[in-house]
Amino acid sequence: MMSQSKSNLSIEKTKQSRIDQVDFSNLFFGQTFADHMYICDYKDGTWHAPKIVPYAPFLLDPSTSVFHYGQAVFEGMKAYKDDNGDIFLFRPTENYARINKSCKRLAMPEFPEEWFDEGLKELLKLDRDWIKPGFGNALYLRPFVIGTTAGVIASPSKEYKFVIITSPVQSYYSGDVKVLIADHYSRAANGGFGAAKAAGNYAGQFYPTALAQKEGYQQVIWTDDTTHEKLEECGTMNVMFRIGDTLVTSPVNDRILDGVTRKSVIAMAEKMGIKVEVRSITVHELVQAAENKTLKEIFGCGTAAVISPVSAFGYKGKEYTFERPVQTYAEQIKTAILNIQYNKTEDPFGWRVKIV
């Protein structure tokens, strides 16, 4: 944890809220942004004068480091409102720790924890009306850090911007998805930065995903870069498999993001009495499980979608389907996590943090 002296956060409120122009029952994920944003600049070896200002574009020189060398990391979090109007975050210290881990891997400076907490809290106080109660409704929080030094020299930027923008959302994915198992492209490599939430990890997925879409699959299951045998992530999410009544998911490594939802699903499943195995799972095992009908579920998990069920997978020109039970683990675990996030039940894990 990085700590720094008092922030002296300055707040400039918007003169004219845009909230009345928003149809909260018809939102596209990440397209609408709330009234305010948080910005803090790094210069001369330290973070300076954070501010909250009305949401607006900012100007950057065309030679700015991030445009050329991609020093950019981000987080995804959500703020939830319960029926009393109280606002909660879910495991925010995990996101704080991870953004700094991502920064470190991309040679970027860490951000102080008290400032991160203060920025989120003050933004949520100002834009609390942008958070609607009810399952699926949330304010998606997008903290990000970019290198902002002008000049195309290929070395770490000396200046950075830490920014938080926020976006009202309903749910990210709609419906089940069919996934194609990658047998050529990779999302990440040993010794690379797949475990960081770095912008480049997402850019690298777009082309192979577009190819999969041409074949009728919505997402790709990413495999390890050496053998393409180990099943590691699904689209922008971690991935879990139910074989028989056991939930199996890969351990995190250099190539896999240490997902907050992933660890929450594992803990929740174990609490519900579900057997969980955190171990490598191969394509061969999955194909066999589909063929001998022990494969019962595949689902992705991440902050945006929480849990996203998969209905079929494709591998080397063949499509495999499987019969899911009426009561899926995906649905049961998702509901239990949502109940904690929306303050509908006790939180035995201490994951829910009341903000306002």
Residues of this chain that bind ligand COI (CB under 6 A): 76, 202, 236-237, 302-305
Nearest approach, Cβ of residue 63 and ligand COI (Å):
27
Contacts for 130 with CB less than 8 Å, ≥ 6 apart: 19, 22, 34, 35, 139, 166, 168
Closest CB to ligand COI among residues 95, 343: 95
* β-pairing verdict for 352-354 and 87-90: antiparallel
Closest CB to ligand COI among residues 105, 125: 105
Contacts for 269 with CB less than 8 Å, ≥ 6 apart: 247, 276, 329, 333
Nearest approach, Cβ of residue 29 and ligand COI (Å):
7
Closest CB to ligand COI among residues 173, 241: 173
Residue 295's Cβ-count burial label (10 Å; 0-12, 13-18, 19+) is buried
What HEC string does 232-281 produce? EEECCEEEEEEECCEEEECCCCCCCCCCHHHHHHHHHHHHCCCEEEECCC
Nearest approach, Cβ of residue 118 and ligand COI (Å):
23
Closest CB to ligand COI among residues 295, 301: 301
**Residue type at position 128:** R
For the chain, strand residue ranges (E) read 10-11, 36-43, 46-54, 72-74, 77-81, 87-90, 138-147, 160-169, 177-181, 219-223, 231-234, 237-243, 246-249, 275-278, 295-302, 306-315, 318-321, 352-354
Closest CB to ligand COI among residues 247, 257: 257
Nearest approach, Cβ of residue 273 and ligand COI (Å):
26
Nearest approach, Cβ of residue 301 and ligand COI (Å):
8
Closest CB to ligand COI among residues 182, 257: 257
Nearest approach, Cβ of residue 260 and ligand COI (Å):
8
Nearest approach, Cβ of residue 257 and ligand COI (Å):
8
Closest residue by beta carbon to ligand COI: 302
Task: Show the tokens assigned to 84.
Answer: 């009393």
Closest CB to ligand COI among residues 52, 72: 72
